[in-house]
């Protein structure tokens, strides 16, 4: 597949989003009022990721050259059930459906109601081809395949209702970092973005760090002072207070300042405002641990090829597929 006039419309879309408008400001304001987790700062951070990573002509060309969709094919209707854990989750799925020449039937998250209808309106004004390619609905019906994202609990619901159709069903995931002790303070500061952006609510957020024996986790509190702004969000602060209280009541050893906590734990998933850490002594033993929990990891932040760079988890490339499932290959096979 190569860029054509329809896929190039997304580049124009990115230019309009970058330019900004009163309508966009209004959408972001309504979004934050409706869902205080989606602050203006984090919504614009997500838009910046879309503009730089998704709606970039060169990157779209690199991405799409991997696929060979025929110029004429039967249009499929793809049901999309979008998550609401971070702002505008599901953009990549919608992009995949549209650039592959299919039609999207979208079930929005109740936590994220305003952005995607606005985006579709803007895209249709650029290219009327897309005006009938997206439908927003409260109940999926008449679809050919489904891509649904949610929690482990909702995944069981999705399996029950959508299991007989071609599907991608995504569950809870998290991300981890592996430090070797040679990181610079700048690299560790960048890691703070992986921990704190979107308040740690995304599957690409680092909730667990593996530390070399002798590493002093207390140094992260000093390095991550710039992320204290998370405490300005009442919902985050309430979660911090609740989870700190549980640690105190249970007499769980932990480190804390007034906006996040660290506790030594083998568990991969950590509560909000909490970062789990675990010491390792040998790379081989650590690799065995990673292999054991691999299915639950979206990103591994570490030095070296094949890993995600410090501060990069929230800026995925077009080919960084959720759950490591190639959405475009899935659509191609329909």
294-314 pLDDT, tens digit per residue, is 789 999 999 988 899 999 999
**In terms of domains, do 25 and 76 share one?**
yes
- Joined together, the tokens standing for residue 93 give 């799925």
For residue 160, tell me if it sits in a domain.
yes
Indicate the SS3 state at residue 328: helix
**In terms of domains, do 62 and 184 share one?**
no
pLDDT category, 2, cuts 50, 70, 90? low
**In terms of domains, do 165 and 213 share one?**
no
pLDDT at 15 over 90: yes
pLDDT tens by residue, 215-257: 999 999 999 999 999 999 999 999 999 999 999 999 999 999 9
**In terms of domains, do 15 and 77 share one?**
yes
For residue 68, tell me if it sits in a domain.
yes
The CATH number of whichever domain residue 262 belongs to comes to 3.40.309.10
Last residue of a domain, one of 172, 207, 226: 172
For residue 162, tell me if it sits in a domain.
yes
pLDDT at 72 over 80: no
Alpha carbon distance 123, 112 (integer Å): 18
Last residue of a domain, one of 109, 140, 172: 172
Number of domains the chain is built from: 2
**In terms of domains, do 22 and 135 share one?**
yes
- DSSP labels, 289-312: HHHHHGGGEEEEE-SSTTSBPTT-
- Joined together, the tokens standing for residue 208 give 């667990």
For residue 321, tell me if it sits in a domain.
no
For residue 26, tell me if it sits in a domain.
yes
For residue 154, tell me if it sits in a domain.
yes
% of residues, the chain, pLDDT over 70: 99
Hey, CA dihedral for 187, 49, 277, 288, is it positive or negative?
negative
pLDDT tens by residue, 115-140: 999 999 999 999 999 999 999 999 99
**In terms of domains, do 38 and 184 share one?**
no
pLDDT tens by residue, 151-163: 889 999 999 999 9
Containing domain of residue 154, as a range? 8-172
**In terms of domains, do 126 and 213 share one?**
no
Whole-Å CA distances, 156 to 163, 172, 328: 10, 12, 24
**In terms of domains, do 27 and 166 share one?**
yes
**In terms of domains, do 55 and 137 share one?**
yes
Last residue of a domain, one of 172, 187, 216: 172
**In terms of domains, do 48 and 132 share one?**
yes
167 in Cβ contact with 146 (< 8 Å): yes
- Number of other residues whose CB lies within 10 A of the CB of residue 9: 20
Cβ-proximal residues to 215 (8 Å cutoff; 6+ apart), any chain? 179, 181, 279
pLDDT at 90 over 70: yes
**In terms of domains, do 206 and 246 share one?**
yes
State the chain's mean pLDDT as an integer.
95
Q: 16-24 long-range CB contacts below 8 Å, 24 or more apart?
A: 16/122, 16/126, 17/47, 17/50, 17/51, 17/55, 17/122, 18/51, 23/118, 24/118
- Joined together, the tokens standing for residue 224 give 């991550």
pLDDT attached to residue 294: 77
For residue 124, tell me if it sits in a domain.
yes
For residue 323, tell me if it sits in a domain.
no
pLDDT at 23 over 80: yes
**In terms of domains, do 149 and 186 share one?**
no
The CATH number of whichever domain residue 120 belongs to comes to 3.40.605.10
């Amino acid at each position: 597949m190569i860029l054509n006039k329809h896929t190039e419309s997304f580049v124009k879309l990115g230019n309009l989003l970058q330019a900004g408008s009163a309508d966009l400001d209004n959408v972001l304001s309504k979004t934050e009022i409706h869902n205080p987790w989606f602050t203006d700062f984090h919504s614009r951070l997500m838009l910046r990721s879309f503009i730089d990573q998704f709606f970039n002509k060169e990157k779209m060309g690199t991405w799409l050259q991997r696929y060979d969709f025929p110029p004429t094919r039967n249009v499929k209707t793809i049901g999309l059930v979008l998550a609401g854990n971070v702002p505008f989750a599901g953009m990549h799925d919608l992009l995949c459906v549209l650039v592959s020449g299919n039609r999207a039937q979208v079930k929005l998250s109740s936590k994220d109601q305003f952005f995607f209808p606005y985006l579709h309106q803007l895209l249709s004004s650029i290219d009327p081809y897309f005006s009938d390619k997206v439908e927003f609905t409260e109940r999926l019906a008449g679809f050919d395949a489904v891509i649904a994202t949610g929690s482990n609990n909702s995944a069981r619901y999705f399996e029950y209702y959508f299991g007989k159709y071609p599907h991608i069903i995504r569950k809870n995931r998290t991300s981890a970092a592996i430090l070797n002790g040679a990181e610079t303070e700048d690299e560790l500061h960048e890691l703070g973005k992986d921990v704190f952006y979107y308040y740690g609510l995304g599957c690409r957020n680092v909730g667990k760090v593996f530390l070399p024996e002798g590493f002093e986790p207390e140094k992260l509190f000093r390095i991550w002072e710039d992320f204290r702004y998370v405490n300005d969000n009442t919902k985050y602060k309430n979660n911090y207070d609740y989870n700190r209280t549980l640690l105190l009541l249970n007499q769980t050893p932990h480190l804390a300042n007034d906006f996040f906590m660290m506790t030594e734990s083998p568990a991969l998933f950590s509560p909000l405002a909490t970062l789990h850490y675990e010491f390792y002594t040998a790379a081989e033993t650590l690799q065995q641990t990673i292999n054991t929990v691999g299915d639950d990891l979206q990103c591994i932040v570490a030095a070296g090829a094949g890993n995600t760079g410090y501060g990069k988890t929230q800026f995925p490339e077009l080919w960084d597929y959720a759950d490591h499932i190639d959405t475009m290959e899935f659509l191609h096979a329909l």
